[in-house]
Structure 1
Amino acid sequence: MAEVQIKESTVKVSGQTLFFREALPSAAPGISKPPVLLLHGIRFSSQEWQNLKTLHTLAAAGHRAVALDLPGLGRSSDAVAPSPLGEPAPPGFLQEVLESLNMVPAVLISPSLSGMYTLPFLLNSPQSVAAYVPVAPICTDKFSAQDYAQVQVPALIVYGDKDEQLGELSLRNLKNLPNHRVFCMKGAGHACYLDDPDTWHQGLMGFLSSLK
């Protein structure tokens, strides 16, 4: 894999400072691939995506990859979340993030807690989402089958088969997205990408390479 540099920076969203890590593609100019925004669960931060080399893998394949620390977590701990933990956040929050980072439309990678941000945004502003990669996100039960059925965004539904709570619940709800495929990681738990990074990267990159 070519040497990929990770840059650390901050972005202002609704007057608050959020930290992010960014990897830029080294591919030849003229090949335009959608940028990728990576979010995280409650026990994690953008650091995991750097440690796992997901940022590097995306950049090496020609994607601009940005891993954001969500409000109140990681190095965005001074920022206040726009809604209570576990409640759907206003869709305008992620819209402002993506616009501030010049990433519209973006691929959204959304594990666990970050579902409270990505799901309302996906359902409200699908035109700002190039593709959706939910990894056993929370809040899937806050929306109806009809809500999901309206969204034509390509989706890769990821979960570990040992995640018997959020994995199965999220799959049951997200399968109502009409343009989806399912990626079940065998022997993996809730944070399945941590349990088997190689398989995670293979599944993710295979999906992204299939996008029109």
Structure 2
Amino acid sequence: MSAVKMTEGSVQVESCKAPLFYRQSEPATGDAKMSVLLLHGIRFTSENWLNIGTLETLATAGCRAVAIDLPGLGRSASAQGPAALGELAPAGFLKEVCEQLSLSPVVVISPSLSGMYSLPFLLQHQALIKAYVPVAPICTEKFTAEQYGSVKVPALIVYGDQDTQMGEASLRNLSNLPAHSVVVMKGAGHPCYLDDPDTWHKALTDFLDTL
């Protein structure tokens, strides 16, 4: 019998026209020490977290992990929100996801495209966030050093050293977060967790152990 329970489901949030698809993993006992929300980049979906073993790794580490397919992507393709990001109120979108799925306080893992959702959420609702794990997210330049400086949430900044476009640019902005540490994954590109899942999982679980 597996020590990990895997399920799939959907959640309806006000800003989307159809339910969002998600995958969930948790310890088979159902007794999780913390909740983790996994977001994804534009070419990816929640299935990537399943395939590389991140969902299983987190559940084995005693966490409840939820990986959603973002609006318009993956199996949430019909869940298109309003066309413009400004209308979607990205901070409120993730707040509603966390409320509907009882995830707060949540550890948010946010690669690439998902930065447009996670960064406003972090800056507006940090009371709902236990920790933040940005993986070369977009939109980091849209916020000031002062805004980042007001965030008390612990952060683990992760990027691949071959990610010349987003890696160092996001690090430059995110290093204004006061309680941050950095993991640079050698030989890994933009989706560094896909290039080297073992190093990614060790860095992630080591960080979660400090919370």
For the superposition of Structure 1 and Structure 2, which TM-score range results when normalised by the shorter chain? over 0.9
Partner of 2:8: 8
Distance 2:207 2:159 in 1: 15
| SS of 2:107 mapped into structure 1 | strand
Q: 1:20 to 1:156 in 2, by over 3 A?
A: same
- 1:84-163 aligned at under 5 Å gives the runs 84=84, 89-163=89-163
Partner of 2:170: 170
Distance 1:67 1:123 in 2: 21
Shift of 1:33: 1.9
| Contact 2:148-2:176 within 8 A present in 1 as well | yes
5+ residue gaps in structure 1?
Answer: none
Shift of 1:26: 3.3
| Contact 1:106-1:130 within 8 A present in 2 as well | yes
5+ residue gaps in structure 2?
Answer: none
| Contact 1:89-1:116 within 8 A present in 2 as well | no
Q: 1:9 to 1:148 in 2, by over 3 A?
A: same
Partner of 2:197: 197
Partner of 1:26: 28
Partner of 1:17: 19
Distance 2:111 2:142 in 1: 16
Letter in 1 for 2:24: E
Q: Deviations over 1:92-126 (max 9, x none)?
A: 11000000000111000000000000000000010
Distance 2:35 2:53 in 1: 16
Matched residue pairs, number?
209
Q: 1:128 to 1:71 in 2, by over 3 A?
A: same
Q: Deviations over 1:117-146 (max 9, x none)?
A: 000000001000000000000000000000
Shift of 1:155: 0.2
Distance 1:61 1:25 in 2: 8
Q: Name the TM-score, length of structure 2 as normaliser.
A: 0.94
Q: Name the TM-score, length of structure 1 as normaliser.
A: 0.93
Query: How big is the alpha-carbon RMSD for the aligned residues of Structure 1 and Structure 2?
Result: 2.0
Shift of 1:64: 0.3
| SS of 1:75 mapped into structure 2 | helix
